Amino acid sequence: MRYLHTMVRVKDLETSLHFYSTVFGLTEIRRYENEKGRFTLVFLVARDDLQAARENLAPCLELTYNWDTEDYAGGRNFGHLAYEVDDIYGFCRHLMDNGITINRPPRDGHMAFVRSPDGISIEILQKGESLPPAEPWASMTNTGVW
């Protein structure tokens, strides 16, 4: 398993980038704009993690800017932790065998979400290419929120 990023939602991308980059000293290493989903992802990294982040895309802070305005009350601006695993199906099976609910199953062989006992959302990503769809995951529905 490898730690990837922590995601926070931001209301004003330019103001947030000024804080995290100019003031706090993090460096932007990549940006992803999704017109259909109406969001922008900006990945930032600390100076001492720059080489590792460029080579392995981690560890990063992900700023998520949703183009449609929203007030993030009650801590909703904190998004999730993200970890990469060698076998998403095996890892999710291990979690289920230990009583953990898979809130968003890895139907696509690539991404799943679970929650910690304290309600923190954790994204689990398949290392490398997505695995082929397989049961029981392909037909499993979402449970709760993530």
What sign has the CA pseudo-torsion 6, 29, 125, 83?
A: negative
Q: Kindly name the residue from 14, 35, 123, 129 that is annotated as catalytic.
A: 123
**Structure-token pair, residue 70:** 């929203």
Per DSSP, the three-state class of 56 is: helix
Question: Which phi and psi (to 5°) does residue 28 adopt?
Answer: -75, 125
Residue among 66, 46, 70 at smallest CA distance from 58? 46
**What are the DSSP calls for 80-138, one per residue?**
EEEEEES-HHHHHHHHHHTT--EEE--TTSSEEEEE-TT--EEEEEESSSPPPP-TTGG
Residue among 68, 60, 69, 85 at smallest CA distance from 8? 60
Please confirm, yes or no, whether 33 is among the known catalytic residues: no
Active site residues: 123
